[in-house]
Amino acid sequence: AQPCKTADTTMEKSDDKISQSNTAAASVDATTTKEQNTTKEDDDPPLSKKALKRRKRWEKALEIKKRRKEQSKEIRRIKAQNEGRDLDAEREQQKQNEKEGKGWEKREKLWNDRCNKGNIDESFRVCFDCNFEDQMTWKEVNSLSLQLRYAYAMNRKSPMPLHVHVTGVKSGCDTRKHLEKIDGFPDRWAGRAYHVHEGSLEDVFDSALSNVDTSKDKDDKQEGDNNAAKSVGKEEGTEKDDSQQSQPKLRPNHQLVYLTGDSENTLSTLDNNTTYIIGGIVDRNRLKRAAIERAEAIGSNNSTLPIKTARLPLDEHFDFKGSTRVLTCNHVFEILLKYRENGYKDWGGAVMSVLPDRKDIHEKEEKKDE
Q: Domains of the chain by range and CATH? A: 57-100 (no CATH), 121-214+247-363 (3.40.1280.30)
pLDDT (tens digit per residue) in 334-361: 999 999 999 998 898 898 889 887 777 7
3-state secondary structure of 166: strand
Residues 6+ positions from 295 with CB-CB distance below 8 Å: 258, 260, 277, 307, 308, 309
Distances (CA, A) of 352 to 150, 332, 337: 18, 12, 13
pLDDT at 370: 55
Q: Count of CB atoms within 10 A of residue 158's CB?
A: 17
Query: How far apart are the C-alpha atoms of 27 and 13, rounded to whole Å?
Result: 21
Distances (CA, A) of 35 to 21, 39, 46, 47: 21, 6, 19, 22
Residue 331 has pLDDT above 90, yes or no: yes
Sort residue 124 into left (φ over 0), alpha (ψ -120 to 50) or beta.
beta
Q: Which of 7-16, 41-50, 268-277 has the highest mean pLDDT?
A: 268-277
Give the neighbor-by-neighbor strand order of the sheet with 274-279. Answer: 194-196, 164-167, 125-129, 274-279, 255-259, 308-310
CA 212 to chain centre: 31
In whole numbers, what is the pLDDT of the chain averaged over residues? 80
CA angle 170, 325, 341 (to 5 degrees): 75
The model's confidence at residue 235, banded by pLDDT at 50, 70 and 90, is: very low
pLDDT at 269: 93
Residues 6+ positions from 159 with CB-CB distance below 8 Å: 114, 117, 118, 341
Q: Which residue has the higher pLDDT, 335 or 226?
A: 335
Report the percentage of the chain scoring pLDDT > 70. Answer: 77
pLDDT (tens digit per residue) in 41-64: 455 678 888 889 989 999 999 999
Query: How far apart are the C-alpha atoms of 110 and 22, rounded to whole Å?
Result: 71
pTM, entire model: 0.70
Q: Quick check: 291 and 336 in contact, CB under 8 A?
A: no
Query: How far apart are the C-alpha atoms of 9 and 369, rounded to whole Å?
Result: 109
Q: Which residue has the higher pLDDT, 132 or 38?
A: 132
| N- to C-terminal Cα separation, the chain | 120
pLDDT (tens digit per residue) in 105-159: 888 999 999 999 999 999 999 999 999 999 999 999 999 999 999 999 999 999 9
Q: One-letter amino acid identity for 115?
A: C
- Residue 316's closest CA among 325, 326, 307, 308? 325
pLDDT at 219: 46
Query: How far apart are the C-alpha atoms of 7 and 84, rounded to whole Å?
Result: 81
Distances (CA, A) of 143 to 171, 175, 284, 285, 336: 19, 9, 11, 14, 21
Query: How far apart are the C-alpha atoms of 355 and 102, rounded to whole Å?
Result: 37
Q: Count of CB atoms within 10 A of residue 112's CB?
A: 15
Worst-scoring range by mean pLDDT, 11-25, 207-221, 233-247, 324-338? Answer: 233-247
pLDDT (tens digit per residue) in 299-321: 888 878 889 999 999 888 887 77
pLDDT (tens digit per residue) in 172-192: 999 999 999 998 898 889 999
Q: Quick check: 126 and 103 in contact, CB under 8 A?
A: no
